[in-house]
Amino acid sequence: MSEDLEKSPAPRGVAREILLFFLRFLGASIALYLVYVVAGRFYTRLIALLASPLLSAFGYKLVMDKATAITEEISLNPVVFLSLVIAVGAIPWRAKLKAAVIGAAILTALNSLTVFLAFASFYRNSERLWTGSEFLSLTINFFAPILLWLVLLPIRSAFPFFRDNTA
């Protein structure tokens, strides 16, 4: 019986791990948001420019002012994702860096797709397409960063409460 108590992590250890994760997440979020405040306009233009070839393929014109207005609303999801990646302890930096690059690229592509769909719904005057664009945008902003974090990093190995303590 006492062996079982010794093998299982103490509740304080789990609480401490969660608190440290939260503090690292908060610190990373603040730092990355400050970077975004300074350099975010370049990222929003990048998203718009990446949407441009797809718009051209369908005969639509990119209006940069409108595109950057759209991207300002959707372009913070890499900040959330990268904050999650940075906040996780016990994962080697190479794995974090690889996940960060892949995840940021995927989010950028998804953000560009959102810009394309917003323009396509405008040019087609389609309420149904606009609704789909809004749904995709919400999904990308709220769920994609967390999903990519879970898929691209070995999260189960980083947190003690996920580890199998029966051995």
The alpha carbon torsion through 66, 71, 74, 79 (nearest 10 deg) reads -160
pTM of the entire structure?
Answer: 0.83
Tell me the pLDDT band of 167, cut-offs 50, 70 and 90: very low
pLDDT of residue 5: 47
Question: Is 76 a residue whose pLDDT tops 50?
Answer: yes
Provide the domain count of the chain. Answer: 1
167 lies in a domain? no
What pLDDT is stored for residue 12 in this prediction?
Answer: 60
Do the domain assignments include residue 6?
A: yes
44 inside domain: yes
What pLDDT shows up at residue 34?
96
Provide the pLDDT for residue 75.
Answer: 86
Does position 2 have pLDDT exceeding 50, yes or no? no
Over the stretch 114-147, which tens digit does the pLDDT of each residue have?
999 999 999 999 899 989 888 888 888 889 999 9
| Structural domain contains residue 151 | yes
What tens digit of pLDDT does each residue of 90-102 get? 889 999 999 999 9
Mean pLDDT value of segment 60-72: 88
Enclosing domain of residue 9: 2-162
In a domain, 68, yes or no: yes
Q: Is residue 158 part of a domain?
A: yes
